[in-house]
Structure 1
Amino acid sequence: RALTIGITISPDDFSNHNSSLYNKIKKSKEFLDYLEENYIIKGYEVQTKRISLNTIEEWLYDLDISNIPEFLNRFVIIDNILKEFSISFCSLGGCSDRRFYSILLQGLKISNNFSGSIRFNNNSSQSLISPDYELCLEAAKISIDLFKSCGNLGNFRFCASFNCDSNIPYFPASFHKSNVISTNSLTIGLENGDLLFLAFNGVDSINEGRDNLYEVLKQALVPVQIIAKTVCEESKIEYAVNYAGIDSSINPGLSIVDSVGDGIENLLNINNINSKFGSFGTLAVVSAITSAIKSLKSDIDLIGYSGLMLPVMEDLILSERATDNAYSLRDLLLFSSVCGVGLDTVPVPGNITKEQLANVYIEIGALAYRLNKPLSCRLLPL
């Protein structure tokens, strides 16, 4: 699904006719193209090549916060360079400083190439119970503004994230940590919903399905990692890209065979009881899948969510079951307690209020903090 390179930029990159910024993006594209060639030779398809920046506060801090045109100019400069190199996916690095929330919003409006997130405090000390309500309210305002300004698809490029660290290859939560300026990072995200069918076909129990899935995932991911490590090592002098790891999350495609929902229902129905996603037993299957994914840590350098993705609007069966009211938003929150990703592309009414959105953020943030796991929330007003 995604080859994502994380790079660090600073205000200095916008001096001297943006030459430094230009070269960083140019080098990133060259590396991604080279890596893609290596995967194609081995029979893989690369869907997207992406660039993830460090947080916007780090490359906009030198500007007067009230000087909106200057901020917009930098977004335009980045977008123009991206277009020159045919790069359609760029994370603006997210934002954790409330003073820059509105700036992130303006950046997302500049170009459909941009994605971004409001990053809530990492609760590694486990001292927080839930995120600040006022900050959740501000994030909700961004979501509603994007819906009104950019239509139904605006919120595909925005989320609120909780406990999410750097090195997530998936957008919009992705950002690059700038602690090592001279080194870029490579992260890999997959489209692999079809592996559930391979793993669960003919099994007699959920536990057997879990064990099969671990073996199937291991067999699929180890070669992907070997290629990435080899390319990074061979090109380290020219590109200085550090292999960070694979987000091993199960992620659906757009066909039935690639549907996560279909895979879950296959395991639900091992006893021919005709259960649908959302019925009792779903949580057990979700837990089994996540357990198999997490077990890969001894074989694969795992990063990001490394859980089970349930993107309602990007999975045929999940979308169909949502239309049938087979499950609710609260059911998805329950599944998030074991699947470790959050709420993704979940449709909500277009007239939803900022207070209602903020309350959803509060709940998923509380869950992330209580369980000390990365969760994000991408809701789609329609």
Structure 2
Amino acid sequence: MITRLEVNETNNMIEHENLDVRTITLGISLLDCCDSDLGKLNEKIYNKITTLAKDLVPTGKQIERDFGIPIVNKRISVTPIALVGGAACKSPEDFVTIAKTLDRAAKTVGVNFIGGYSALVSKGMTTADENLMRSIPQALKETDFVCSSINVGSTKTGLNMDAVRLMGEMVVRTAEYTKDNDCLGCAKLVIFCNAPDDNPFMAGAFHGVTEADAIINVGVSGPGVVKTALQSVRGADFETLCETIKKTAFKITRVGQLVAKEASARLGIPFGIIDLSLAPTPAVGDSVAEILEEIGLERAGAPGTTAALAMLNDQVKKGGVMASSYVGGLSGAFIPVSEDQGMIDAVNEGALTIEKLEAMTCVCSVGLDMIAVPGDTSAATIAGIIADEAAIGMVNQKTTAVRLIPVIGKGVGETVEFGGLLGHAPIMPVNAFSCEKFVSRTGRIPAPIHSFKN
């Protein structure tokens, strides 16, 4: 039974502490759309998405009205398109037609984004995989709502360095293709290690092949709620601090559970998972960096930052898993620079560097996220950064990712404006020394010794 006190407490979190449900994501399998005829394939994809998702946005809006809970995004994820289009697509240009179909379907049903323009290449690349990867710059240039992700490694298989090198080149090319829009295409492209099958958050969402035909996944948020709760225990010991984070994460996740169950029942689609990530926004007071500062750091990036983030991430998960039996996706604390005003301030004041962010990704939810770098950064350097981040995920058996944005025509000290939830970002410096000879080696970095568990 939910008490009046709990109702009032939740209302206060929504009204004053930026609590929201960040996304309802409808996952759709497109495996039954496969066809060797490209025209028929595109027709099947469009028809299935627009049929299954026709009520997603109206239902989300109705739940918002009925419960007074903001649901910021309504999104769709689909089966990795490299798998779906393999029989019909003989060139990168063929895959671009599917990207346009996804974009058209997204606009028809009114969602914010559609994810799954993806390939899973942790051990090797098929011809279809490589064609899709090479199509990404054009696909992201010619669409508005399509998001792309590539999984280049896993703890079980190691790192596919051929794919890493190719994605370094594709990030640079995507920046060039979308330079008239501040290289925004790169903000919709993520390179993963250990990508989960059920992630509801963009730009990395896709509908895994282990999932049902359709599924409802929900991503919650609430950094502002956690920060406000911690203000009430300033100076307390670590046990009190941790208990406060856990209890707050429980409450946030219960809100997401309510929305997920309601959406599932109204749409007649099974409930999948709750992703209990703390996802910041550019809004004042909705920042993971400010939580770290409330814990006791002068600025995010100061000594102790990685320890504080590790504690925060762990307590969020401990509280969240008690609130829902089905927790999945990424789950933890996101540290995207452009989407977190506290992170932006820390970069501008010199407290936070890419190297410190990389250390923080060892314990956070994902990885190097929404980081703007100079437009003349080489493809080899970007590939090296991807390899470093993927290695952290591979060795530590966790999901890591890279979403770097080389901003053509801009350098360190300048700022790029993306708008909306993507925010704005200072251009951060990268290490100037070359890794060209390293990333030019072909083949695969083997899986770590602890991957052998059969």
Q: Is the TM value for this pair above 0.5?
A: yes
Q: Which residue of 1 aligns with 2:429?
A: none
Secondary structure in 2 matching 1:174: coil
The reply to whether residue 187 of structure 1 matches residue 211 of structure 2 is no
Q: Which residue of 1 aligns with 2:365?
A: 340
Q: Which residue of 1 aligns with 2:176?
A: 148
- Equivalent residues in 2 for 1:1-382, closer than 5 Å: 1-9=22-30, 10-12=33-35, 15=40, 18=43, 21-66=46-91, 68-96=92-120, 97=125, 98-99=129-130, 100-123=132-155, 125=156, 128=158, 131-151=159-179, 152-179=183-210, 183-203=213-233, 204-233=236-265, 235-236=267-268, 241-268=269-296, 275-295=298-318, 296-300=320-324, 301-382=326-407
8 Å contact from structure 1 (residues 90, 115) kept in 2:
yes
Q: 1:214 to 1:118 in 2, by over 3 A?
A: same
Q: CA RMSD in A?
A: 2.1
Shift of 1:201: 0.8
Taking the aligned partners of 1:345 and 1:381, their CA distance within structure 2 comes to 10
Percent identity for Structure 1 against Structure 2: 19
Letter in 2 for 1:352: T
Taking the aligned partners of 2:42 and 2:314, their CA distance within structure 1 comes to 50
Instruction: Write out per-residue CA displacement over residues 307-360 of structure 1, whole angstroms, 9 at most, x where no aligned residue.
Output: 111111111111111122212111111111111311111121111111111111
Secondary structure in 2 matching 1:314: coil
Shift of 1:180: 5.3
Q: Which residue of 1 aligns with 2:438?
A: none
Q: 1:17 to 1:222 in 2, by over 3 A?
A: closer
Taking the aligned partners of 1:53 and 1:349, their CA distance within structure 2 comes to 32
Secondary structure in 1 matching 2:119: coil
Taking the aligned partners of 1:42 and 1:361, their CA distance within structure 2 comes to 42
Taking the aligned partners of 2:204 and 2:52, their CA distance within structure 1 comes to 23
Secondary structure in 2 matching 1:95: strand
Segments of structure 2 that go 5 or more residues without pairing to the other structure are: 1-21, 408-454
Letter in 1 for 2:28: I
Secondary structure in 1 matching 2:71: coil
TM-score, with length taken from structure 1: 0.89
Q: 1:179 to 1:224 in 2, by over 3 A?
A: closer
Secondary structure in 2 matching 1:337: coil
Taking the aligned partners of 2:361 and 2:394, their CA distance within structure 1 comes to 12
8 Å contact from structure 2 (residues 197, 209) kept in 1:
no
TM-score, with length taken from structure 2: 0.76
Q: Which has the higher mean CA deviation after the structures are superposed, 191-200 or 318-327?
A: 191-200
Q: Which residue of 2 aligns with 1:272?
A: none
Corresponding pairs, count: 367
Shift of 1:163: 0.3
Q: Which has the higher mean CA deviation after the structures are superposed, 71-80 or 316-325?
A: 71-80
Letter in 1 for 2:307: A
Shift of 1:15: 2.4
